[in-house]
Amino acid sequence: MTSKTDGRPALSSELVEQFSLHGRTAVITGAAGGIGRQAAITFTQAGADVLIADVGVAGLEETAEMVAAAGGNATIVPTDVSDRDQVNALADAAIKTHGRLDIWANVAGVIRYMNIVDATPEDVEFITKINLWGTYWGVAAAGRTMTNGGSIINVSSAGGDMPAPTLSIYAMTKAAVSHLTRCAAVELGANNIRVNAIAPGFTDTPMVQSRWTNADGSTNEAERESYTSTRAAQSPLRTIATPEDQSWAMLYLASDASRFITGQVIRPNGGVVMA
């Protein structure tokens, strides 16, 4: 129903309903900070019950406090996403805690900077096992566990859309995550499970803050200003993203508002890559 205030239509309750996650259970990996933490808060604000997973337990506890401040009650499930058994246990925890699983966001990820000629087998294994295998096990566990349809949201990157010098392993895993998204959408569509990805552009989170953080944890302000203004200048909008810019796109993909969207990579990147 739409009511009118001051001659303008108020927010339509039908429209709000389409973006609501009320009564849904959501799993979010990488939720100890950055985009995953913000997704947990945004999904809570939209009405979901959240299970938050990460290897960083202290960060998960902070996120749980923020979820509580938003009126929710997060379930903490320490999880290493590169371990298939732990990811399966995370899906089981959703059923045990809330009796259902509707939304699964594969946000956990790592980055390392090096040239291809210098990369070690350990570099390749470490990044691939978390960014790609971790997402793969997440898609598999969610696909197996969602019995009433659902939405799986993977996190790719603008680095998966274009050549990324010094980030070849990271970029390679993110391109693979985008393609895994399309393959999974075809396999799971018959079960009314939608699979999409966001491919964020440069977003102000701990992952990129490491570029301007000193060894003692303090911020190198000159480096921060130089780095962020260079990245902002690459966008037609002349700015970098906040974690909210990513979580709001994720909310759209999690909600019924995107019920006819599957197999897509949505790009909250300020127009840095247009595909």
Ligand X SMILES: NC(=O)c1ccc[n+]([C@@H]2O[C@H](COP(=O)([O-])OP(=O)(O)OC[C@H]3O[C@@H](n4cnc5c(N)ncnc54)[C@H](O)[C@@H]3O)[C@@H](O)[C@H]2O)c1
Classify each residue of 25-43 as buried b or exposed e, where b means 16 or more C-beta atoms within 10 Å of its C-beta.
bbbbbbbbbbbbbbbbbbb
Q: 113, 170, 227, 252: which is the annotated catalytic residue?
A: 170
Each residue 185-204 as x (binds ligand X by CB under 6 A) or -, in order, gives: ---------------x-xx-
Distance of CA 61 to the CA centre of its chain: 18
Q: Of the two residues 207 and 232, which places its CB atom closer to ligand X in the complex?
A: 207
Identify each DSSP E strand in 31-102 by its residue range: 49-54, 75-78
59 lines the binding site for ligand X (CB under 6 A):
yes
CB 76 within 8 A of CB 70: no
Find the binder of ligand X among 74, 101, 155, 254 (CB under 6 A). 155
Amino acid at 70: A
64 lines the binding site for ligand X (CB under 6 A):
no
Q: Of the two residues 20 and 112, which places its CB atom closer to ligand X in the complex?
A: 112
Task: Establish whether 252 is a catalytic residue.
Answer: no
Q: How far apart are CB 83 and ligand X at their closest, in Å?
A: 8
Structure token pair of residue 220 = 């190198």
154 lines the binding site for ligand X (CB under 6 A):
no
Distances (CA, A) of 5 to 16, 19, 145, 164: 17, 22, 44, 50
Q: Of the two residues 80 and 189, which places its CB atom closer to ligand X in the complex?
A: 80
Pairing of strands 8-9, 4-5: antiparallel
Find the binder of ligand X among 21, 35, 101, 139 (CB under 6 A). 35
Annotated catalytic residues are: 170
Interface ranges with ligand X (CB under 6 A): 29-30, 32-36, 54-56, 59, 79-82, 107-110, 130, 134, 155, 157, 200, 202-203, 205-208
